[in-house]
Structure 1
Amino acid sequence: MPAHPKKHHFVPQFILERFAGPDGKLVVHQYMNERQFTSAVVNVGHRNYGHSLYWPNREPDHSSMEAAMASIEEEAAAAVKELARGRQREVPHDIRRPVAWLLALQYQRSRFLMHLLSERVRSKDSDLSANEIQTGLLTLILAYVIHPWCLRDDDDAPFKDRWNSLVAVLLAGADVHWSCYRPRNGGLLVGDNLLCFSGIVGEPPPHIPPKLFDHGVQVGLHNFRRATVPLGDDLALIISRDAGDCVQLDAAAINRFTVFNSREFIAHAPNWPDRHPDLAHDLQTSLRTQRLVAPAFLQNYGSNGR
């Protein structure tokens, strides 16, 4: 066994487990190569040494980022577990905070985002190696997520060092509404992107077909109308600037946003299609739509399943 686990998960295993079957397996639908296969949770949503740091004249650091990310995930996992035990629609404030930090981490460590940034760096400096670029991108996660999270309760630290832009938006009091969606019989899907944006507020970007906003295209922290967050087969969050969204969305709509916002894969338990035939039919329709639309914004990402 290697000294350090090489499978670095960019989708938390505790989330994936909440969608898996009793045997811990998931059926995975990849996008652009149209593969479908069954896999154990540990083999889904990871990159080999994807969070390793490579500094000049040092041994590779395979554990520091993983340990820091695991601390954020552990706090969020406890909050999600508590939320799943309840039946309330409104999300308690003490649960919002650790979940908001997890979503900030997910937003920053999106492999699609890292791909886009890597391509931009390569276009400006083609001499940098893949390991050097990865290290540079991971230091952004250190600076904007992990360090602020570590200082979040330190009143003696400067506010700017405890601040994260996504957390600030998500916890913006009465301007953002948090609610739970709990389908009685389950049926929700998970993808590589947990933070699924749909709709916009304010002036729409010019020359963008309106339906693309439901794919998360040209939607960001300050102009999203809603974000849906699948946390389990029977639990999702709806975070919206419109309080009415919490009673208007159903499992089919939330699944559609999950498919449209993911960039690599969608997953569910092996017996999910038998338990939810209508949702399974909707999934195939959404996958066809995503495979038709996504090449316009994927920029060659995902053609080999990643």
Structure 2
Amino acid sequence: MPQHAKKHHFVPQFLLHLAGPKGKLVAHQVMNERRFPTVVRDLGHRNFGHSIYRPGQEPDHISMEEAMGSIEGEAATVVRELVQGRERAVPAHARSALAWLLALQWQRSRFLMHVAGKAVRDDDIWTSEGDDIQMSDEQLQTSMMGFISMYVIEPWLVRNDEDAYYKDQWNHLVSTLLDSSMHWSCYRPRGGGLLVGDNSVCFSGVVGTPPENIPPAVFDHGVGIGFENFRRLTLPLGSSLAVIISRDPQDASRLRVADINRYTVFNSREFVAHAPDWAKAHPVLARELPQLLERQRTVAPAFLQGYAPGGRN
């Protein structure tokens, strides 16, 4: 028996379990019309996707999984608190835990890894002897794990250390989300109906002067904006709870299930999912979903840069 798990989840299993309480889900692939039943452990993962490969050493399949699991565990605890509560407010300790989870989700996005890998492979890297260097998939993954460790895990570990330098505790997305200009709120639709997707960091809207020559609707797909000028971030935490983080305090009262689902679909890069009985329980939302997916398939090729993974890796 192996001493380590083979399936490394880039979507925390506790989030998927909240969407399908019995561990069963129906997934819709973004870039084709495939729809299939699945279970939590088989979705949102890559085999050894967080492993580290160093020359002359056995692959390290454990270190990053354990470190990421610590961040996920703290977030899972506060999510349970929020699920069991009724308040709209998000307590400070919950905001912190969720901000760090979102930073992790952003940094370990398989789409982000694809974009980084494409950039590296498109650049010619030469040795001093004039030989062209081609990074292997394992080398690239190891490099990306190093970035996650540097920008998320290490700052998270010393975030409460009074003796640590501020820059060693700092993460750009966490700093943005915990800024006093951000308004955090729980959204609890009585009948449920929220979708989950492979991307928990669902940006939409823009503040300030928008980039030129970009149609406003594109911003709801999480592109054309950055940490400094996104209007809101929606985080689905299962079918009956989402957290809305916005620069506009009115967003929390304006948004409805259909709006949040639209942002979830438009920010997805691989899949969206729901419980098996979701369509029967939410016929109006179910009728809208194929239209949202079709729109995403139309728009996404403009920014996916060839990223079109299969649904069950």
**Normalised TM-score (structure 2):** 0.95
1:134 aligns with 2:133: no
> Aligned to 1:189, which of 172, 179, 195?
195
The aligned counterpart of 1:153 is 160
Change (3 A) 1:32 1:147: same
- Name the structure 1 match of 2:28: 29
Question: C-alpha displacement at 1:304, in angstroms?
Answer: 3.7
Equivalent AA in structure 2 for residue 150 of structure 1 = L
Deviations 1:36-73 (A, max 9, x none): 11111000000001000011111100000000000000
The equivalent of 1:87 in structure 2 is: 86
How far apart are residue 33 of structure 1 and its match? 2.8
Q: Aligned partners of 1:108, 1:19: CA distance in 2, in Å?
A: 23
Q: How many residues align?
A: 304
Cα distance in 2 for partners of 1:257, 1:32 equals 16
Residue aligning to 1:6: 6
Q: Report the residue type matching 1:147 in the other structure.
A: E
For the residue of structure 2 that corresponds to 1:55, the secondary structure is coil
Letter in 2 for 1:224: F
Partner letter of residue 277 of structure 2? N
Structure 1 CA distance for aligned equivalents of residues 57 and 209 of structure 2:
49
Give the unaligned 5+ runs of structure 1: none
SS in 2 for 1:178: strand
State how far apart, in whole Å, the 2-side matches of 1:168 and 1:188 are: 27
Q: 2:201, 2:303 → 1: CA distance?
A: 18
Identify which of 268, 273, 281 aligns with 2:279.
Answer: 273
Contact 2:13 2:41 (8 Å CA) reproduced:
yes
Picking from 304, 307, 312, the partner of 1:298 is 304
CA deviations over 1:221-245 (Å, ceiling 9, x no partner): 1110000000011000110000000
Name the % identity.
59
Segments of 4+ in structure 1 off by > 4 A?
A: none
Contact 2:50 2:61 (8 Å CA) reproduced: yes
CA distance in 1, matches of 2:207, 2:55: 45
Deviations 1:83-140 (A, max 9, x none): 1111111111121001110000001111101100010011124511110011111100
**What are the within-5 Å matches in structure 2 for residues 249-260 of structure 1?**
249-260=255-266
Q: How does 1:109-120 map to 2 (within 5 A)?
A: 109-120=108-119
For residue 251 of structure 1, report the CA deviation from its aligned partner: 0.2
- Alpha carbons 2:196, 2:274 under 8 Å: kept: yes
Distance 1:67 1:178, change over 3 A: same
Q: CA deviation at 1:303?
A: 5.2
Query: Could you list the per-position Cα deviations for residues 132-167 of structure 1 after superposition, in whole angstroms to 9, with x for gaps in the alignment?
Result: 011111100000000000011111111111111111
Contact 1:31–1:263 (8 Å) recurs in 2: yes
Deviation at 1:2?
2.0
Q: How does 1:216-295 map to 2 (within 5 A)?
A: 216-295=222-301
The one-letter code sitting in structure 1 at the alignment partner of 2:115 is L
Q: 1:303 to 1:53 in 2, by over 3 A?
A: closer
CA contact (8 A) 1:228 1:236 kept: yes
Counterpart of 1:110 in structure 2: which amino acid? S
| C-alpha distance in structure 2 between counterparts of 1:51 and 1:187, whole Å | 32
Match of 2:18 in 1: 18
User: Aligned with 1:294: secondary structure?
Assistant: helix
Unaligned runs of 5+ in 2: 126-132
Mapped contact 2:32–2:297 kept (Cα < 8 A): no
Q: Does residue 194 of structure 2 align to residue 176 of structure 1?
A: no
Shift of 1:34: 2.1
Match of 2:50 in 1: 51
- CA deviations on 1:243-296 (whole Å, 9 max, x unpaired) are 000000000000000000010000000000000000111111101111111111
CA contact 1:21–1:271 (8 Å) conserved in 2: no
Work out the CA distance in 2 between the residues paired with 1:156 and 1:55. Answer: 32
CA-CA distance at 1:218 after TM superposition: 1.2
Closer, same or farther in 2 for the Cα pair 1:61/1:220, shift >3 Å? same
CA RMSD of aligned residues (A): 1.1
Alignment of 1:99-118 (within 5 A): 99-118=98-117
